[in-house]
């Protein structure tokens, strides 16, 4: 990783580094650790600073609440920031990547401490957000999805309680990764418990498949009815299970249709549909974090044509427009905050993969 772009990405992460946690952007409040971006930052650090990568995740999980929930924002100045809100457990997926990258001998002692914390968090999702055992966890605020300006809540009935599809896809991938991690520390009871979570969510996600639209849909947790316009979250079940690319060819065909209408992969909403806005996050604008998640699923599904497009577009748009939070999928213009840690981390991850 010696290119000018990867060197710049490292500089962004180092510039946002507060010692034990990373700011999401260069202009973010100095005491704010945002769950989602923190996990991405850990993966970025992993390419050049192993200890710092682990510290990022350890700091995040040190903020775990007594009931097992990990907040979506940790305020390291003593303030309380919406402690009832969380994010999808991307930390579980990040820890598996760190474990596999650095090996059993170096990683297992950390895993002995972190894996039980992760299991408690996953138990919290089941108990607090899916008490009926449907297999889908509800979010109670759009911010919990990680897609703060998402249209998912536009058609939702109060009280807000939505089984957001992208959130649950990440949760299912995290369930699978947690099973692997528990197996690595020989927690047989934990493995059996997570197996039951995986089975429930597998069936529940499949029930969200819309054959006519060729996409997975979010659900109202109370009624089970589909809600919201199709968005990038509808493709994220590929991140949980790459076999879906073969089972539902309409899914990747739909993604190809979206890409045919965009200059930069991947728009967060379908171009041309009512409400599409290329300059608004999650209503059209590109996020490299979600590009990475889709790339991961498509790579494991063997769709090199699509992964090459996503990787090349991601690297090119950052080279052109800088380390912004979002990008216009039509013009490539950078949007949102500058010095975005998640974007820098994605660049470093993509840089390790050849076409």
* Residue 170 covered by a domain: yes
* Residue 3 covered by a domain: no
pLDDT digits (tens, 9 = 90+) for 273-289: 988 999 999 899 999 99
Q: The CATH number of the domain where 302 resides is what? A: 1.50.10.10
* Residue 5 covered by a domain: no
The mean per-residue pLDDT over the stretch 342-351 comes to 98
Q: Give the residue with greater pLDDT, 184 vs 2.
A: 184
Is-catalytic flag, 325?
Answer: yes
With tokens 């748009």, the residue in question is 317
Mean pLDDT score of the chain: 94
Catalytic residue (one of 148, 154, 195, 352):
148
Query: What is the structure's pLDDT at 296?
Result: 98
Residue 243: cis peptide before it, omega within 30 degrees of 0: no
* Residue 239 covered by a domain: yes
The mean per-residue pLDDT over the stretch 193-205 comes to 98
Query: What is the structure's pLDDT at 227?
Result: 86
* CA atoms of 289 and 343, how far apart (whole Å): 7
Query: What is the structure's pLDDT at 300?
Result: 97
* Residue 2 covered by a domain: no
Query: What is the structure's pLDDT at 150?
Result: 74
DSSP E strands in the chain: the ranges are: 32-34, 73-75, 162-163, 209-210, 215-216, 218-220, 226-227, 277-281, 284-285, 326-327, 334-335
Query: What is the structure's pLDDT at 290?
Result: 97
Question: DSSP letters along 150-197, please?
Answer: -GGGTTPPSSP-EE-HHHHHHHHHHHHHHHHHHHHTT-HHHHHHHHHH
Query: What is the structure's pLDDT at 148?
Result: 72
Which residue from 103, 209, 228 is spatially nearest to 162, judged by alpha carbons?
A: 228
* Residue 126 covered by a domain: yes
pLDDT surpasses 70 at 341: yes
* Residue 229 covered by a domain: yes
User: Which DSSP helix (H) or strand (E) runs through 118?
Assistant: helix 104-129
**Helix, strand, coil percentages, rounded to 5, for the chain:** 55, 10, 35
Task: Give how far Cα 84 sits from Cα of 128, 158, 166, 252, Å.
Answer: 11, 17, 20, 36
pLDDT digits (tens, 9 = 90+) for 301-310: 999 999 999 9
Extract the tokens encoding 275.
Answer: 């409400």
Coil, strand or helix: which one is 250?
helix
% of the chain residues with pLDDT over 90: 86
Catalytic residue (one of 164, 220, 296, 325):
325
pLDDT surpasses 70 at 233: yes
pLDDT digits (tens, 9 = 90+) for 56-115: 999 999 999 999 999 999 999 876 665 679 999 999 999 999 999 999 999 999 999 999
User: Domain count of the chain?
Assistant: 1
% of the chain residues with pLDDT over 70: 96
Structural domain including 195 reads: 11-351
pLDDT surpasses 50 at 249: yes
End-to-end CA gap in the chain: 15
* Residue 4 covered by a domain: no
pLDDT surpasses 50 at 1: no
Is-catalytic flag, 58?
Answer: no
């Amino acid at each position: 990783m010696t290119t000018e772009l990867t060197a710049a990405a490292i500089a962004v992460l180092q510039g946002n580094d507060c010692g034990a946690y990373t700011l999401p952007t260069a202009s973010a409040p100095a005491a704010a650790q945002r769950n989602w971006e923190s996990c991405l930052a850990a993966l970025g650090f992993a390419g050049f600073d192993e200890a710092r990568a682990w510290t990022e995740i350890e700091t995040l999980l040190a903020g775990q609440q007594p009931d097992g929930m990990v907040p979506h924002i940790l305020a390291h100045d003593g303030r309380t920031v919406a402690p009832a809100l969380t994010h999808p457990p991307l930390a579980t997926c990040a820890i598996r990547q760190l474990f596999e990258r650095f090996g059993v001998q170096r990683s297992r002692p950390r895993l002995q401490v972190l894996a039980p914390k992760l299991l408690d968090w996953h138990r919290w999702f089941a108990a607090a957000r899916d008490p009926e055992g449907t297999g889908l966890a509800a979010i109670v605020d759009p911010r919990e999805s990680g897609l703060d300006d998402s249209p998912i809540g536009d058609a939702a009935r109060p009280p807000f309680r939505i089984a957001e599809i992208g959130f649950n896809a990440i949760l299912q991938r995290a369930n699978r990764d947690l099973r692997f991690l528990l197996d690595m520390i020989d927690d047989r009871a934990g493995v059996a418990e997570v197996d039951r979570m995986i089975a429930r969510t597998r069936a529940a996600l499949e029930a969200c498949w819309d054959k006519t639209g060729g996409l997975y849909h979010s659900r109202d947790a109370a009624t089970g009815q589909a809600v919201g316009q199709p968005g990038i979250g509808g493709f994220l079940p590929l991140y949980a299970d790459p076999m879906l690319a073969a089972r539902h060819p309409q899914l990747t065909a739909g993604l190809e249709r979206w890409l045919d209408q965009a200059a930069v992969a991947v728009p967060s909403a379908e171009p041309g549909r009512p409400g599409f806005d290329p300059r608004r996050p999650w209503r059209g604008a590109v996020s490299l974090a979600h590009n990475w998640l889709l790339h991961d699923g498509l790579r494991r599904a063997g769709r090199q044509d699509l992964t090459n497009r996503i990787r090349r577009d991601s690297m090119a748009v950052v080279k052109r427009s800088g380390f912004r939070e979002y990008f216009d999928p039509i013009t490539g213009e950078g949007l949102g905050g500058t010095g975005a840690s998640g974007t820098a981390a994605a660049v470093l991850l993509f840089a390790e993969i050849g076409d």
